[in-house]
Amino acid sequence: MPELPEVETVRDGLQRHVSGRTIAAVQVLHPRVVRHYPPGPEDFAASLRGGTVGDASRRGKYLWLAVDSAGPRGQPAGTPADALVAHLGMSGQLVLGPPDRPLATHVRARLTFTDGEEDLRFVDQRTFGHLLFDPGGATLPAALAHIAPDPLEPAFDDELFAARLRKRRTGIKRALLDQSLISGVGNIYADESLWRATLHWARGTDVLRRAEVFRLLAAIREVFTAAIGAGGTSFDNLYVRVNGESGYFGTDLAVYGMQGKPCPRCGTPVRREKFMNRSSFSCPKCQPRPRHGRW
């Protein structure tokens, strides 16, 4: 599943390769891709056609492109730009390439541009990802209003996060995966950040010290920044960068997927524990299990 660094890598690619171009046509090849857009595929395509793409933005794992469609939609000048919102789901990819290449099986939507250069394809093997059009949503699409800022956004407030977190009565990892509290942290980066901050994933949020929360935030930012620099993590072939290349960061993981391998800090074999329907990886020595954890 793409996590924040992967999505940021895609955002950066969209900003460099798609911003400033004018959409010639939109093809919806599978109606499921616009299932969260009630007006449907035809309206989706018509709303975007003729629009000029502005900046590419991200909140957590959502991406959106500002689309200045004042012309085709007949809106007066000064109307806030619209947004094309994308969520990559489990396996979604945005891929650029020559417009005349064949349409692969899992292409769900395709945008062509008036310059006749590279087209943009939304490829999704498992169809959990989706696209939608948000009129006037360029600043912050309505679909994202319930999602907390991610820790790399300027809008993220460390003090507010610490206060809200410590009011919860849950385990720290569960809290990190709660998109209403903090967005963009998935299973992999939660484990990596908790290892870096030397906190066990089941530590109760209500007993965390303020300094520990700040240490954790610093760890999350370090892990994200390193992953973005490496082009995102890829554990399978489902994720492909916006230019069609896979990103790899796997060799830099300290604990995730490293059961039995030595902790890079102390050499103790990495432990795997059940967490929800998945696993949590941690170092038994650096991240001692809390006596009264919240599992």
CB 109 within 8 A of CB 27: yes
- Please report how close the Cβ of residue 215 comes to Zn ion at its closest, in angstroms: 16
Site membership for Zn ion, residue 185 (CB under 5 A): no
Interaction with Zn ion in 110-129: which residues (CB under 5 A)? Answer: none
Residue number, 65 or 283, with CB nearest to Zn ion = 283
d(CA 97, CA 111): 11
- Please report how close the Cβ of residue 122 comes to Zn ion at its closest, in angstroms: 41
Could you tell me whether strands 82-87 and 130-134 are parallel, antiparallel, or unpaired per DSSP bridges? antiparallel
Provide the mask over 213-252, with x wherever binding to Zn ion is found by CB under 5 A and - wherever it is not.
Answer: ----------------------------------------
Residue number, 125 or 279, with CB nearest to Zn ion = 279
Residue number, 32 or 265, with CB nearest to Zn ion = 265
Residue number, 26 or 270, with CB nearest to Zn ion = 270
Interaction with Zn ion in 248-277: which residues (CB under 5 A)? Answer: 263, 265-266, 268
- Please report how close the Cβ of residue 295 comes to Zn ion at its closest, in angstroms: 21
What is 49-82 written as a DSSP string?
TTPEEEEEEEETTEEEEEEE-HHHHTPPTTPPPE
Residue number, 205 or 282, with CB nearest to Zn ion = 282
CB 271 within 8 A of CB 289: no
- Please report how close the Cβ of residue 258 comes to Zn ion at its closest, in angstroms: 11
Token pair of 81, please? Answer: 């730009």
Interaction with Zn ion in 275-294: which residues (CB under 5 A)? Answer: 283, 285-286
d(CA 109, CA 192): 34
CB 117 within 8 A of CB 24: no
CB 82 within 8 A of CB 67: yes
Catalytic residues: 2-3, 61, 278
Token pair of 34, please? Answer: 């616009």
d(CA 100, CA 89): 27
Identify the H or E element spanning 10.
helix 4-17
- Please report how close the Cβ of residue 196 comes to Zn ion at its closest, in angstroms: 11
CB 161 within 8 A of CB 182: yes
Q: Which residues bind Zn ion (CB under 5 A)?
A: 263, 265-266, 268, 283, 285-286
